[in-house]
Amino acid sequence: MDTLRPDPSLRSADGSESVEPGVSGAAVAKGAAESPPRPRLGGGRSVRFCPAWVGRLHLGGGPGEQGGRGTAGSGATASAPQPGGAAEPASGGSVGAGGAENGWAEGVRRRYAMLSPYLNEKQVRLLVAAESIVVGPYSAPLVAKVVGLSRHTVRAGIAELERPESIEPTGVRHRGAGPKFREATDGTLRADLETLIAPTTRGDPESPLRWTCKSAAKLAEELRAKGHRVGATTVRRLLHAMGYGLQANRKTREGTQDHPGRDAQFRHIHDTVQGYQRRGQPVISADTKKKELVGDFKNPGREWQPKDTPEEVRAHDFPIKGQGKVAPYGVYDVTNNEAWVSVGTDHDTPAFAVSTVGTWWERMGQKAYPEATELLITADCGGSNNARSRPWKTKLQALADAPG
């Protein structure tokens, strides 16, 4: 069996060594864990233990295999000479030579191999620390060697298990770990960013961004020109922390509202529509939508396509000769929430607008309102349905006079 030679500095009062050659490393480890009472050697000498010895132990081979230094394993035993020459076996687990692969080391290795792929850094640290506590005192280096981690990692986990309140409940690492945010080390970064984006800088000849868009990349570029080491990602994070966000324009300003009959006009339209609906008469809203080019041109929006195979369209929006544009004219049934759209290939004229209203009546209106005797049309005052357009009025009257 392997032996562990004592530290020369540990000697008894008479100058002789405190640990005799032949006392195994297991006896040293066991004695370190069970210091009171100290085992007695022959001749009345006591055994003194040095915990640092245990840290120098390493795992050996299989059962019965001899090594140069003491090893950890379940098959090793230790004994100390008793008065009279008898040797008493050491009780419990011991740190000694041989039996590592069939003992606790194999169990630790297998459990670690099965669980570690599913654990994060903190959980791995606590797992190996728990294994070390189960193995016994001063076993952190041995467990670390078995699982292939640093002994400092195992000892850190043991310290956390001894103080559970120090374990981070949600995160992997302790709060405050890692590099500091840029604003924590740069005291003027936030103030300079606020100066660049403040509303008071709009139109200011001293503002470098008065004619540029306020993108994160542009802001980062201007901050770097001021001497700050910052990128677009940091700028976006700071803007969110300061309460800024990407905003689109919102139409809220009504303009001048000094016309005395402005509100009365809309109340009249509202009351008239409700009156027609109570009598069961149709109410429609008519208008021309955005004119579109005919052909393979780009349009906003997205549609499902095979990955990396977008539909190819023309690079420039020049009309294709012989195809031109189309003008969609819509008629919306306010009561039934239904609509009809006619697409004209010619100009947006009053004749086309009245034709669309007539088509709606033939295809949808007659079926929805078989007893109708009136028709209320609401429309804006521009384009083909201009209130001052004489063709619009005359053709509507012709439509009303037509039979059916």
Overall number of domains in the chain: 3
Q: Is residue 30 part of a domain?
A: no
Per-residue pLDDT in tens (0 to 9) along the chain, 404 residues: 444 444 444 444 444 444 434 444 444 444 444 444 444 434 444 434 444 434 444 444 333 333 333 333 333 333 333 333 333 333 334 444 444 444 889 999 999 999 999 999 899 999 999 999 999 888 999 999 999 999 999 999 999 999 988 887 777 776 666 677 888 888 899 888 888 877 655 455 555 544 455 788 888 998 999 999 999 999 999 888 887 777 777 777 776 666 777 778 888 999 999 999 999 999 999 998 888 888 888 888 888 888 888 888 888 888 888 888 888 999 999 999 999 999 988 788 899 999 999 999 999 999 999 999 999 999 888 888 888 889 999 999 999 988 76
158 & 191 share domain: no
192 & 156 share domain: no
- Judged by DSSP in three states, 327 sits in strand
State the Cα–Cα distance between residues 301 and 317, nearest whole angstrom. Answer: 17
154 & 205 share domain: no
Give the domain-ending residue among 140, 166, 192: 166
**According to the model, what pLDDT value does residue 199 have?**
60
**According to the model, what pLDDT value does residue 255 have?**
67
Q: Is residue 287 part of a domain?
A: yes
Q: Is residue 41 part of a domain?
A: no
286 & 388 share domain: yes
- Judged by DSSP in three states, 375 sits in coil
205 & 327 share domain: no
357 & 274 share domain: yes
**According to the model, what pLDDT value does residue 130 have?**
94
Q: The domain spanning residue 353 has which CATH number?
A: 3.30.420
The residue range of the domain holding 124 is: 104-166
325 & 198 share domain: no
Residue 37's φ and ψ, nearest 5 degrees, are: -85, 160
355 & 271 share domain: yes
220 & 283 share domain: no
Q: Is residue 219 part of a domain?
A: yes
162 & 188 share domain: no
CA-closest candidate to residue 208, choices 190, 194, 222, 228 = 222
268 & 375 share domain: yes
- C-alpha pair distances (Å), 356 with each of 102, 198, 288, 391: 91, 51, 10, 15
Q: Is residue 147 part of a domain?
A: yes
141 & 235 share domain: no
